[in-house]
Amino acid sequence: MSKESADPTIALVTGANQGIGYEVAKRLSSEYPNFHVFMAGRRQDAVEKAAAELQSAGLNVEPLVMDITSDDSIASAVEKVQAKFGHLDVLINNAGILSGKPEDSIRQRLTTVYNTNVFGSIAATEAFMPLLHNSSKTRRVVFVSSRLGSLAVRTDSEIGYPPIELLEYGSSKAALNHAAMTFAARFRNDNSWKVNVCCPGHCATNMSGYTGIDEASIGSIQAVRLATLDSNGVTASFSDRHGPAPW
């Protein structure tokens, strides 16, 4: 648990208007009142409504319009955080989609999913790097992924083959895992950076058609743990709330 300074810890959660992202923002701001949490989302009405719900409960959150599939939108969000605080301490890359339109070609569906799940998260992380570098605290970058992106889970019958294929989604999460570890390797010799991947589990969210085993609030647990690590915390890891997850 990280409580490094009386200064607010500035965090940003993508895809925070609903589901796991919303619950991550809620858990962070309720359990860590010293956090100021930007709730980022592509739709202004949705993200403002979500932030207002938490603000009405006295939580320190702020809406931020950001579409991670748009470089201009990302740049605008960076400018707003820069203007208000001049730095960022925590980035949680949560935004993701399950699939494209069924009537689209496989190439089109892959492009749609990868634009958000992979390209968008990478682009947002790179764009916020200067503000993360400006942090005087432990910088924490969390990528919300899935065991469906695990090559071990996909290939090892003892671990258990996934019951569904989800080619676009699973392969995008495998790519995201690799990207996350590339960022982690960039800072392997700097203990002030913690870059990790987590799986929230099969949660009842809009993405899953509300068919998940766990509530979305349960899915937020590990992301918040990783977002509040101190300088002695783990880096370059893949985990869920139960412990290490297979790559």
Domain holding 142: CATH number?
A: 3.40.50.720
Is the pLDDT assigned to residue 202 strictly greater than 70? no
pLDDT (tens digit, 9 = 90+) per residue, 138-195?
Answer: 999 999 999 888 898 888 777 665 666 789 999 999 999 999 999 999 999 999 999 9
**CA separation for the pair 187, 140 (Å, rounded):** 11
Is residue 36 one of the residues assigned to a domain?
Answer: yes
* Residue 31, number of CB atoms within 10 A of its CB: 11
Residue 43 lies in a domain: yes
Residue range 210-237: mean pLDDT, rounded: 85
| pLDDT for res 132 | 99
pLDDT attached to residue 117: 97
Range of the domain at 105: 9-242
Name the active-site residue from 22, 32, 114, 169.
169
- At 208, is the pLDDT very low, low, confident or very high (cuts 50, 70, 90)? very low
In a domain, 3, yes or no: no
How many structural domains are present in the chain? 1
Query: Which of 92, 88, 98, 89 is CA-nearest to residue 14?
Result: 92
What per-residue confidence (pLDDT) applies to 197?
98
Does residue 1 sit within a domain? no
Average confidence (pLDDT) over 79-98: 97
Considering the domain boundaries, does residue 2 fall inside one?
no
Name the catalytic one among 80, 173, 194, 210: 173
Q: How many beta carbons lie within 10 A of that of residue 9, not counting itself?
A: 23
Gap between the Cα atoms of 243 and 35, Å rounded: 25
Instruction: Spell 153-183 as b/e; 16+ CB within 10 A means b.
Output: bbeeeeeeeeeeebebbbbbbbbbbebbbeb
Query: What's the rounded Cα separation, in Å, for the pair 116 and 124?
Result: 10
The rounded Cα 190 to chain-centroid distance in angstroms is 22
Catalytic residue flag (residue 169): yes
Q: What is the mean pLDDT of residues 184-210?
A: 81
Where residue 97 falls among pLDDT bands split at 50, 70, 90?
very high
59 assigned to some structural domain: yes
Is 4 a member of any domain?
Answer: no
39-87 per-position pLDDT tens digit? 999 999 999 999 999 999 999 999 999 999 999 999 999 999 999 999 9
| Residue 73 one-letter amino acid | S
H helices of 64-166, in order, are 71-84, 106-114, 121-133, 151-155
Q: Could you tell me if residue 163 is inside a domain?
A: yes
Confidence label for 124 from pLDDT (cuts 50, 70 and 90) = very high
